[in-house]
Amino acid sequence: MSRFYRRGASDSDTDSSEDEVEELKVNKSAKFRDDLDFMAGPEEDEKRVVRAQKDKKFDELKSLIKQNRDAKSNKDLNKLLTGFDTLAKAYDKSKTIFQRQNVTTPRFYIRFLVEIEDYVNKLWEDKEAKAALSKNNTKALSPLRQKLKKYIKDHGLTDLVTDYRANPDEDGYETPEDENEDDDFEEVSDAKAEKSPGRQAERVADSESESDSDDDDSFNWSSEPDTNSSDDEESVTKMEQLRRYFLKKEFREESKDDKKDKRKRVIKVKEVVEEDDDDWTPVSREKSVVHFDPKEEVTHDVMIKKLNEVMSARGKRTTDRNQHVANLQKLLEVAEEKQLGLGISVKISFCIISALFELNAKISDYMEYETFMNTLRTVNTLLDLLITTDRVKLSVTYAEEDENLKDENEEYRIQGSILIAVQRLDGELAKILQNADCHSNDYIEKLKAEKDMCQLIEKAEKYVELRNHLGIFDKHEVCKVYMMRIEHTYYKYQDQNVGEIAKTMDYLCNKIYTLDDEKRLRQRAMLCHVYFLAVHDKWHRARDLLLMSHMQAIVDHSDVDTQILYNRTICQLGLCAFRHGFIREAHQGLSEIQNTQRAKELLAQAVGTRPHEKTAEQEKIDRSRQVPYHMHINVELMECVYLICSMLLEIPHMASCEFEMRRRMLSRSFHYQLKQSEKASLTGPPENTREHVVAASKAMLNGDWKKCKDYIVNEKMNQKVWNLFHNADQVKDMVVRRIQEESLRTYLLTYSTVYSTVSLKKLASLFDLSKKDVHSIISKMIIQEELSATLDEPTDCLIMHRVEPSRLQMLALNLSDKLQTLAENNEQILEPRTGRGGYQGPGSWFPGRNERQGDKQKGSGGFQGERRGGPGGPDGKRGNWGSQGGQQRRHPQKQRAF
């Protein structure tokens, strides 16, 4: 028997285990099998199916169409646009093959084009659906619509699309290409049909018929007569035993799996026999809802026992949390149906609220929005029940033994706190907003829940005021309720009813000031109060309240959340000072945040950009502290206000300190922006707010206030900065006025060495100010000794006094400053080695040598005398060397300059 035909015979024996596979599977143990081929014969070769090139192209197009349909069902237009381009390229490559085999355009391809065109046109006309799309999908909709129209027109598919629209395919209709695909997978469907439930006899009959057909197929491949089959079988059995010896582990594993499958099959057959139904019955591992015995009367004791039974499964790993909530809701329905009283209903409702909070396995995970709304409704219902009746007391001070759930003659006492539930629900809303996409419509939809949350907090406050005299609340819980309402109010600007809201804010803050024994809530309430006053332009009151609280001294020892609130309050206070025209106070408040270059991080509006400095746990904590997007302070607005304040303060200061070598800088970041603009080789028109302020600063330094005003107040700056203020017109007028005044001061300080007299009328016309205002500004400058000049009233002029140093004097002053700096640097270098006594000779480099030698050597070599100025000896020098130094070292501290 030849080796080739032996392969065919072995294939027919083992072909029943693996039926009809399209692709050729590569056997990794082929080399080892060939080595054993002389003993056991070759292993089976997998069946290989040769397919036409047309069918391959059809499969490729269908797979791409399926991907595009998935993208359409997911409403991912960006992915659909990319997939359509890929499909069009694949179809263009397949055209040559279709033309070679005389195949027309496939009908399934035309069907797909019609589906996509209808979907895009419907979406384009529906304005509400377009508005609900994300930013990327909105951008992809228009190109997809244009490409689809152009593709159908350019490729001559218009007639085919029109014909298809006239005679569309019905639902469930299969084109010939689809039928071919179904024929390819007919065998797989037959295998699935074997697994479908039915009568056992039918399955046995099918298996026998299949085995017979397999045997017939295997005999068709054999070329040897039947007389040689016995010899082949004997050789195969011997070699098969040897083969099984080497593969015994694999056979053992298969046997275990077979046993498991048999067990599963037996169970399924039993289920089918019991129900006498041809359909499958889904078997779930979840426990069904706990039911009561219909013969047993549902009383208080039975309900309490059943509630304890359900609650005993709480927290276990095998407990389905959703099923646990369903069980409690079923108990609540039964309790209300049987009218078991308020005690049982309130107890079960509170258990449902706790179970809803525990649907998340981790506390750090945020709650689903639907679950949050369900919990909100449940808490709201329970709170309404507690407000309407005074016979139920819910408090954490009660123990489980002290609870009264069934005695109607006494007040119902239940362990728990509805205020803690409201507080936790507020925290869940904050986490939901933190994890939502702030630039999508989803965030707006979720933000609507804040209105319901505020109403719930007000209702909780009403409940506290009604039941506070009963002593069932803890002070900390009551303060938390007031604090929650403050935190939902302090950052909102109100145009109407400002007086009533201000009274409410004062009332809530005073409650916390009175009740809170800890410092934390009191500090946060005071900061929120200052923030509220600053938002509503109560500058003086907000400043006084912040200064009286001494928060600047104790904020470093507070927790991180309080420090974040302090930073937000300081920034808002600075913006309030700017709106009122207090430029120096605004600059002082905003500089604490802007000079750090980490404004967003300090305001909890972004996570730090240096993740390598933090662990994963620290970064997770930082993300949990982030402020929701609707509470953010506009950082770009804050930076622009800070730079404008720096310009109004720094430019006159630069003009007054023109001749000083080391002038004091008021704003380092502002000077940095000026230096960066000076380094630029080509300066174009300003684009962002920084460049506008820098260009305005240069114009102010030259005394051109009109150009400076045009850079600060224009349409682009109105959109980015000024329109964000609620009193934009007043703020712009104030800024223009300050620009005129500071430009006048800069002009006088810059050109005071050039002019001997200046007419006040000329200054008034030059800077568009009244003569009275010019006179007032110049008088202030003369009083503060910023300007050396006098006002001559008869001539109405300003007479300059030239007290500026000459060129030679300037060089001499600069030289003396540099020499003084050099001397100080030398002393700083020597002091770490020699101590505070200065340089003491060559022996001072070796401390042990001075101790071994006598006092004579200690005294010698010491440089004595004044460190700055003044003769130190009889020869007029600053210091003496030799024995005289030892006498002067008795009192070295008297001669030190510091």
pLDDT value, residue 44: 45
- Give residue 338's identity as a one-letter amino acid code: K
Average pLDDT over residues 696-714: 90
Six-digit token string for 404: 């009264």
What is the pLDDT confidence band of residue 48, given thresholds at 50, 70 and 90? low
Cβ atoms of 812 and 833 closer than 8 Å:
no
* Residue 541 scores a pLDDT above 90: yes
**What angle do the packed helices 369-388 and 342-357 form, to 10 degrees?**
160
pLDDT value, residue 779: 92
Long-range contacts of 785-792 (CB under 8 A, 24+ apart): 786/656, 786/745, 786/749, 787/748, 787/749, 787/752, 788/752, 789/752, 792/757
In the chain, the percentage of residues whose pLDDT exceeds 90 is 26
* 8-state DSSP, 873: S
List of residues 6+ apart from 1 with CB closer than 8 A: 9, 224, 228, 232
What is the pLDDT confidence band of residue 560, given thresholds at 50, 70 and 90? very high
Average pLDDT taken over every residue of the chain: 76
38 vs 59, residue with greater confidence: 59
pLDDT value, residue 736: 93
Q: Helix %, strand %, coil % for the chain, to 5?
A: 70, 0, 30
Average pLDDT over residues 708-713: 92
The radius of gyration computed from the CA coordinates of the chain, to the nearest angstrom, equals 44
pLDDT value, residue 196: 42
- Give residue 816's identity as a one-letter amino acid code: S
Of 615, 593, 774, 573, which Cα lies nearest the Cα of 669?
A: 593
Highest mean pLDDT among 373-382, 395-404, 793-802: 373-382
How do residues 456-494 score in pLDDT, each as one tens digit?
999 999 999 998 888 888 888 899 999 999 999 999 998
How do residues 438-454 score in pLDDT, each as one tens digit?
888 999 999 999 999 99
Which of helix, strand or coil describes residue 186?
Answer: helix
Return the half-sphere exposure (C-beta side, CA atoms, 13 A cut-off) of residue 664.
2
Surface-to-core class of residue 303, CB atoms within 10 Å of its CB (0-12 exposed, 13-18 middle, 19+ buried): buried
pLDDT value, residue 172: 52
* Backbone torsions φ then ψ of 404, nearest 5 degrees: -125, 110
Surface-to-core class of residue 340, CB atoms within 10 Å of its CB (0-12 exposed, 13-18 middle, 19+ buried): buried
Which of helix, strand or coil describes residue 770?
Answer: coil
* Residue 208 scores a pLDDT above 70: no
736 vs 619, residue with greater confidence: 736
Per-residue b or e along 726-752, where b marks 16 or more CB atoms closer than 10 Å to that residue's CB: eeeeebbebbeebbbbbbbbbbbbbeb
Average pLDDT over residues 43-59: 67
810-to-76, 659, 661, 806 alpha-carbon distances in Å: 72, 8, 10, 6
* Residue 239 scores a pLDDT above 80: no
- Distance, CA of 589 to CA of 573 (rounded, Å): 7
Q: Lowest mean pLDDT: which of 56-60, 540-544, 731-735, 852-856? A: 852-856
Chain center to CA of 633: 16
List of residues 6+ apart from 836 with CB closer than 8 A: 896
What is the pLDDT confidence band of residue 524, given thresholds at 50, 70 and 90? very high
pLDDT value, residue 238: 65
pLDDT value, residue 509: 93
- Distance, CA of 127 to CA of 389 (rounded, Å): 49
* Backbone torsions φ then ψ of 413, nearest 5 degrees: -115, 125
What is the pLDDT confidence band of residue 703, given thresholds at 50, 70 and 90? confident
In the chain, the percentage of residues whose pLDDT exceeds 70 is 72
Location of structure tokens 């695909």: 181
Average pLDDT over residues 812-816: 86
- Distance, CA of 287 to CA of 323 (rounded, Å): 8
- Distance, CA of 576 to CA of 580 (rounded, Å): 6
268 vs 144, residue with greater confidence: 144
- Distance, CA of 155 to CA of 616 (rounded, Å): 55
How do residues 644-667 score in pLDDT, each as one tens digit?
999 999 888 888 776 665 566 778
* Residue 247 scores a pLDDT above 70: no
pLDDT value, residue 175: 56
What is the pLDDT confidence band of residue 131, given thresholds at 50, 70 and 90? confident
Q: Lowest mean pLDDT: which of 170-179, 622-631, 677-686, 880-889? A: 880-889
396-to-355, 363, 417, 423, 517 alpha-carbon distances in Å: 18, 21, 6, 15, 19
How do residues 833-882 score in pLDDT, each as one tens digit?
555 544 444 444 444 444 444 444 444 443 333 333 444 443 444 444 33
Q: How many CB atoms lie within 10 A of CB 512?
A: 22
Which of helix, strand or coil describes residue 790?
Answer: strand
What is the pLDDT confidence band of residue 832, given thresholds at 50, 70 and 90? low
pLDDT value, residue 396: 87
* Residue 576 scores a pLDDT above 90: yes
What dihedral do alpha carbons 505, 506, 509, 513 form, nearest 10°? Answer: 180
* Backbone torsions φ then ψ of 791, nearest 5 degrees: -95, 125
pLDDT value, residue 289: 53
Average pLDDT over residues 802-827: 82
What is the pLDDT confidence band of residue 21, given thresholds at 50, 70 and 90? very low
Average pLDDT over residues 2-8: 45
Average pLDDT over residues 785-809: 82
**What angle do the packed helices 689-701 and 728-750 form, to 10 degrees?**
40
Q: Lowest mean pLDDT: which of 168-172, 499-503, 636-640? A: 168-172
417 vs 156, residue with greater confidence: 417
pLDDT value, residue 137: 85
Return the half-sphere exposure (C-beta side, CA atoms, 13 A cut-off) of residue 785.
1
pLDDT value, residue 93: 82
Six-digit token string for 856: 């004579």
Partner residues linked to 275 by β-bridges: none
- Give residue 337's identity as a one-letter amino acid code: E
